[in-house]
């Protein structure tokens, strides 16, 4: 055994290799939400986009909402409108397809509307180590 922390590089330990980087801009239409707690008080929108990868790909994702700052992770939260909060989830569903799912829910006691939402998504993909 060795102490890996003593080494800059050490081929006695596996590593993950980056296979690609990409950026995607997604836009979801706005909508109307019924009062919180009633039917129609939330919406779920999905959109798929293509991004090639290898099976077992490890993805590092960052998301920006409506031109704002980037946050790390496959999922982020946002305020779509006053008292209308949402989340965006970005995950692979097949080897070469990712799905973005936006959920917006109404916390207001009244009908609420929210505008279209735009997201920038940065994805860096890694192939798994050669052990499979």
Partner 1 sequence: MSKVDPRDFLLNTDYEMDKIILFKSGTINAGQYDVRIQHGLSFAPLTFGVFAYTDDFSGPRPMPYQYVTPELTIDVGLYSDPTNLYLSYHNSSGTPATIYYRIYAFEPSDSHASITHTSGFANNFILSTDYNYCKLKEKGVVDANTSATIQHNLGYLPQVLVWNELNGYTNQVCNSMPYLGGAPNVKVTEQAVIITDIPRAHYRIYYDEA
**CB of 104 closer than 8 Å to CB of 80:** yes
Q: Give the whole-angstrom CA distance, residue 112 versus residue 105.
A: 10
**CB of 126 closer than 8 Å to CB of 14:** no
Residue 29 in 3-state DSSP?
Answer: coil
Interacting residue with partner 1 among 33, 51, 74, 117 (CB under 8 A): 74
The interface mask with partner 1, positions 30-59, x = CB under 8 A, is ------------x-x----------xxxxx
Binding site for partner 1 (CB under 8 A): 1-19, 21, 42, 44, 55-60, 62-63, 69-79, 85, 87, 89, 91-95, 97, 101, 103, 105, 122, 124, 127-132
């Amino acid at each position: 055994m060795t102490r890996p922390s003593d080494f800059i590089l050490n081929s006695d330990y596996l590593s993950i290799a980056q296979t690609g980087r990409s950026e995607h801009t997604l836009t979801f239409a706005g909508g109307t939400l019924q009062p919180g707690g009633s039917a129609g008080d939330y919406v779920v929108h999905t959109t798929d986009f293509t991004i090639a990868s290898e099976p077992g790909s490890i993805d590092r994702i960052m998301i920006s909402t409506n031109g704002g700052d980037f946050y790390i992770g496959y999922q982020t939260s946002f305020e779509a409108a006053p008292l209308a909060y949402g989340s965006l989830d970005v995950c692979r569903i097949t080897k070469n397809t990712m799905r973005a799912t936006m959920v917006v829910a109404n916390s207001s006691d009244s009908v609420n509307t929210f505008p279209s939402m735009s997201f920038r998504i940065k994805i860096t993909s890694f192939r798994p180590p050669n052990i499979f």
